[in-house]
Chains A and B, each alone.
Chain A
Amino acid sequence: MSQLALVIDLNVCVGCHACVTNCKEWNTSGHAGALADDRPYGEDPTGTFFNRVQTYEVGEFPNTETVHFPKSCLHCEDPPCVPVCPTGASYKRKEDGIVLVDYDKCIGCRYCSWACPYGAREIDEHQKVMKKCTLCVDRIYDTNLPEAERKPACVLACPTSARIFGDVHDPDSEVSQTIRERAGYQLMPEWGTKPSNHYLPRRISHYKIHPDELERADNPLKKEDYQSPDLSEPSLDDVTSW
């Protein structure tokens, strides 16, 4: 069985909210009707979003680091929101593991949102039904779209490629390899929900340069007794060579 999911690279996310706006744009234009969006330019704007980018500060000044943290439904392998639904409107698809809400069956009791520790479900206060990230299920299988565009809207929008989409059950998929090789982790593992979405940790790159990397030991000019200019002198690459 496949399990579609997102892998979010916190190392490259710049917190631009492009995924948020593209998600809202795509999902407010779909067959399910507009997503609630009240007073967008007013004093107290509110509305339904499937995806948010949050910002955290790690550490204490001056040793701080900013982490931009996109959060959407994690499409858990063991979703606590599904069994509590009294109507069966909330379900997990067998074929690809996407957790969905049948908007025609939902009675808007909000119990599933209580049962989600991540706050991934937001009720649509106009349609009075629970809504959540669908992994753009109305996009990823659309054969009218070019194959490269059959991805969730948030993935397509990300300017830094911080979002990777694929099947985490396929060990050879890009997402699985990335999770393996770059220590992909899950959120709130303490509840046993086994989220399918993974996050790649921030990495601080240290680059150590040795002196012999600055000056070529095997420079052929040296064999010809060429007097190279001093390191402190200005240089042009094709004239001088250390």
Chain B
Amino acid sequence: MQPAFSVIFLTTLIGMGQGLFLAIYTEQVYSLLNVLPHGEKSLFYAIGSAIALILLGLGMIAAMFHLGRPERAWRAITQWRTSWLSREVIVLPIFMGLLFMYGIVHYMNWNIQLIAIGAVIIDISVVIGLFAMIAASLLFLSTGMIYACLKFLQEWHSPLTVINYVLLGSASGFTLSTLLAAIYAPQSVNFYAGWTIVITLLAYLFRYASLIRNKRLRPKSTVQTAIGVRHTKITQKAMGFMGGSVNTRDFFHHKSKAIIALIKHSFIVLVFYIPIVLLSVYIVQPIQELLIIALISQSLGLIAERWYFFADANHPQNIYYQSIA
């Protein structure tokens, strides 16, 4: 497929936003259960929510550039029964709304207590956060399934696609949350740094698994099935036109194998190796710059990762567009 930068930015930005929310909510639940020290962290939660909201908003703006007719985008909420894209379009604003409420409740310090189970006090932000967490999970599922449900894009048609969207989004969100915690909630920074390393490692394992899987794939469609002629040697002599068309532009990356390999290796280093090393160093030697470099490295790496994710997928329609003259 031809990587579309609008979709690359959409998925990396909202993934980071979702991950950031999941990070701060996880920390809130840990504090709630007295695993982590309590403290005045409402402002931190509010800032985290605001930044997550900004990321999601930027993602939405990026998505608009993908549409030919963005003024009709509201129509995309109608086909939730069949279309994962429609489901994503519905869940994204719901998540943003819940996230906004979650942030506001923390910012205004509305500690309305709902239930108290022993020493565990459940206030309204925990409940809103729970719904927001469900929405974030559904959003990850929808985003991943948009790609995973296309069965003839064999590179994408796998549960690994959804798992990787969840893990890569979470990893980048947790990295950002570590940086924010270093500034606004230093008492919890090691919690964030630790989880970021764990999630980034998990993401590395699953992304690597999908790289191995895709390398071993054999295309189901061949030129033989495409035109229905049984012969071992069939070559296209003419695709039917001399210039380009949507079919030649949208479905192939037009890059050399060397560039594809370079992008693959860069994203592995940028998304996984550099952040894991820097965060591990940070736990021993807390220098804030390490977190900034880790975040920049991972964000750039994720753009490369998403680019590669598209370029890696072989669309069977390309069989029909192999030769011009």
Contacts and interface: CB of A to CB of B under 8 A. Distances in A.
Interface string A70-92: 01000000001011111111000
B298 to A, nearest CB: 27
A17 B241 CA distance: 10
At the interface, is chain B mostly helix, strand, loop or mixed? Answer: loop
A68 to B, nearest CB: 9
B215 to A, nearest CB: 21
Interface string A180-216: 0000011111110000000101100000000000000
Given A54-B240, A55-B237, A123-B246, A188 B225 contact: yes
B190 to A, nearest CB: 43
Interface residues of B, number: 57
B150 A115 contact: yes
Contact of B320 (A71, A84, A202): A71
Interface in B129-178: 146, 149-153
Contacts of B85: 84, 86, 109, 111
Contacts of A119: 247, 251, 315, 317-318, 320-321
B228 A60 contact: no
Nearest to A83: B82
Interface string B206-247: 000000000000001101011111010111111111111111
Interface in B1-27: 1
A202 B229 contact: yes
Interface-central residue, B240, B242, B247, B321, by most chain A CB under 10 Å: B240
In the A-B complex, the 3 residue pairs with the smallest Cβ-Cβ separation, listed nearest first, are: A108-B68, A128-B68, A119-B317
Interface of A: 17, 20, 39, 44-49, 52-60, 66-67, 69, 71, 80, 82-89, 105-111, 113-119, 122-123, 125, 127-129, 185-191, 199, 201-202
Interface of B: 1, 66-70, 72-73, 75-79, 82-86, 89, 146, 149-153, 220-221, 223, 225-229, 231, 233-247, 250-251, 315-318, 320-321
